Amino acid sequence: MNTSGWWSWSSNGGGHITITRDNEHALYGSWSLKFVTDGSVSAQQAGSPNSNGFVVGDVAKAIMSIYSVSGGESMRIQINELNSAGSYLTNSSSSSTTLNAGWNTLSYAYTLTNASVAKVVALASSGVATPITVWIDDAMVIKGTSTTGYADGSFRNWTWSGTANNSTSSGPAY
């Protein structure tokens, strides 16, 4: 998984989050994003790079696979709307999901409401003040509500923009 461009955030500037490229657990390819929080504040998030080309009325759907060693962590997906300069406009979040041990696929679709939206960011968020360690892989944001699974440059008719499994990819619309 390409972790370039991912970022972390904690509410009130508190807490400690570590996000790293890691090969302990990966669903596709050899790498995933390891997300570790200290649990000192309830909102600790890892955000994906911006997805461009969205306009008001589009449905943005975020899909990501999250690995838990023992299960029990509470996670949700949040979609942020950003303007063309990358400034935050608004967001919408899924309900919290309690992870099972192993790989869990989370998805959330949201109709964009801001006339000046140009970019979308998907976030994995702990939402609770509990230390967690999970691995995120196969994160993507698509237009529409397709139920399709993950795809990247390794799939038929898809291409990598750079190094395989360490760059963004694109392919045909679903």
Residues facing 18 on adjacent strands: 36
153 falls within a domain = no
46 falls within a domain = yes
169 falls within a domain = no
pLDDT recorded at residue 104: 94
23 falls within a domain = yes
Q: What are the C-alpha distances in Å from 85 to residues 6, 7, 103?
A: 17, 17, 35
Residue range(s) defining the domain that contains residue 79: 7-144
Main-chain dihedrals φ then ψ at residue 14, nearest 5 degrees? -95, 180
Q: Any idea of the CA torsion for 110, 115, 119, 120, to the nearest 10 degrees? A: -20
- Helices within 58-173 (DSSP H only): none
Task: Please report, for the chain, how many H helices and E strands are present, in that order.
Answer: 0, 14
165 falls within a domain = no
pLDDT recorded at residue 42: 67
pLDDT recorded at residue 61: 86
pLDDT recorded at residue 36: 87
Chain centroid to Cα 41, Å, comes to 20
* Measured distance CA(10)–CA(38) in Å, rounded: 10
pLDDT lower than 50: segments of the chain:
none
pLDDT recorded at residue 146: 74
pLDDT recorded at residue 120: 61
102 falls within a domain = yes
| Amino acid sitting at position 91 | N
27 falls within a domain = yes
Main-chain dihedrals φ then ψ at residue 46, nearest 5 degrees? -120, 125
The predicted model scores a pTM of 0.81
Task: Name the domain count of the chain.
Answer: 1
156 falls within a domain = no
* 170 three-state secondary structure: strand
CB atoms within 10 A of CB 172: 9
**Per-residue b or e along 19-53, where b marks 16 or more CB atoms closer than 10 Å to that residue's CB:** bebbeebbbbbebbbbbbbbeebbbbbbbbbbbee
Residue 89's domain is classified under what CATH number? Answer: 2.60.120.260
